[in-house]
Amino acid sequence: MQLKAGINGNPSMRFVTYNLRFDAQPDSISVSQSLDSLSDPLVEPKYLTKEGEQPWSLRRMRVAEHLLSEGAVLCGFQEALVRQVRDLAELFGEEWGWVGVGRDDGKEAGEFSPIFYNKTEFKFLTYDTFWTSPTPFTPSRFPGAGSFRICTTIRLQSLRSSKEFVVLNTHLDDQSDGQRQLAASLLLHRAKYEEQVGGCPVFVLGDFNSPPTGRDSAAYEIITGARQPVAVPSDFLNKFPLSDDLPSAAPALRDLLADAPRRSAGIAAHATFTGFGAPTVTRDWKRIDFAFGSKAGTCIRYKVDSALGDDGVLESDHRPVFVDLVV
């Protein structure tokens, strides 16, 4: 399921964006201990008996198995603390690499927005991190924002097609609309730069905390071109300058839900945030996790998948969003 024929013989690549929910109930249980505790043979669970948020030590194997069994070859995660990053690296195995830093200090403190990629499918080229704040190149928080916020950017080359592409992965603030608008403007400018100067497709993954419509929709509207971007810091413009001598990049990115063929675009599920409530409690459900793309890439399938296990355990308070892409 990983890479298969897409368009004109070009293979498709399955990406996923997934807010993991940070490790709010830490314990000392190791990955190996969790693996050793698995029943063999498989025992039928007691259906929907568990409720509410469960520890990361119970959720992590489900996350890894879910994404690997779905054939994802690139994963953009949000809210991952360093333990969660290391656990997933262990569970994914040596075929996988990852990039990213903790948002609070640029090292290991705070949440990561890491990008995991399958090394048998991609050659790593470059990566960097910037903060979605007025000082994007130093660990920093937007005034009034609830948290430090970052974007992880990676450039990869497909080992099958030899084509290069860029992925940006981020998590916008849940409290500050100003932060979200600046972040969307920074992301859009960087995407234009990579498309114009780098000459390759660009994809943006992440939790935007901004639905397509309504009071908090400004960030979504900026990145999709329905609203003008806000001014971005001059040092960001200087580091990633657009060129008058090259063809212009597209003025906005495409929401890949709308880009995918209708029969392959989220027929079964729509909301990406569900919380940890019972499956019948839907008052907080909303679509705030997205995959966006530039004009040079094509989405042939889009799917919001369930995070709910038969026993009632939710992998996260978000659902994973899968997209099959061709570049």
pLDDT tens digit sequence for 233-254: 999 999 999 988 888 888 899 9
The b/e string for 261-286 (b: 16+ C-beta within 10 A; e otherwise) is eeeebbeebebbbbbbbeeeeeeeeb
CA 249 to chain centre: 23
Nearest residue to 198 via CA among 247, 160, 235: 247
What integer pLDDT is reported at residue 1 of this predicted model?
A: 37
Question: What are the phi and psi torsion angles at 157 (to 5°)?
Answer: -125, 130
- Rounded Cα gap, residues 229 and 184, in angstroms: 8
Q: What is the DSSP string of 219-273?
A: HHHHHTTSSPPPP--HHHHHHS---TTSPPPPSSPEEHHHHS-GGGB-SS---SB
What integer pLDDT is reported at residue 232 of this predicted model?
A: 98
Tell me the domain boundaries of the chain: 12-326
Per-residue pLDDT of 250-279, as tens digits, reads: 889 999 999 999 888 877 799 999 999 999
- Percent of the chain whose predicted confidence (pLDDT) is above 90: 89
Longest dimension (CA), the chain: 64
Q: Kindly report the CA angle at 14 between 295 and 191, in degrees rounded to 5?
A: 35
Mean pLDDT of 217-245: 97
Q: Within a 10 A sphere around the Cβ of 140, how many other Cβ atoms?
A: 17
- Rounded Cα gap, residues 202 and 292, in angstroms: 8
| pLDDT higher than threshold 60 for residue 313 | yes
- Rounded Cα gap, residues 173 and 181, in angstroms: 10
Q: What CATH number belongs to 12-326?
A: 3.60.10.10
| pLDDT higher than threshold 60 for residue 4 | no
Q: Kindly report the CA angle at 173 between 111 and 16, in degrees rounded to 5?
A: 65
Give the residue carrying structure tokens 């992965």.
Answer: 169
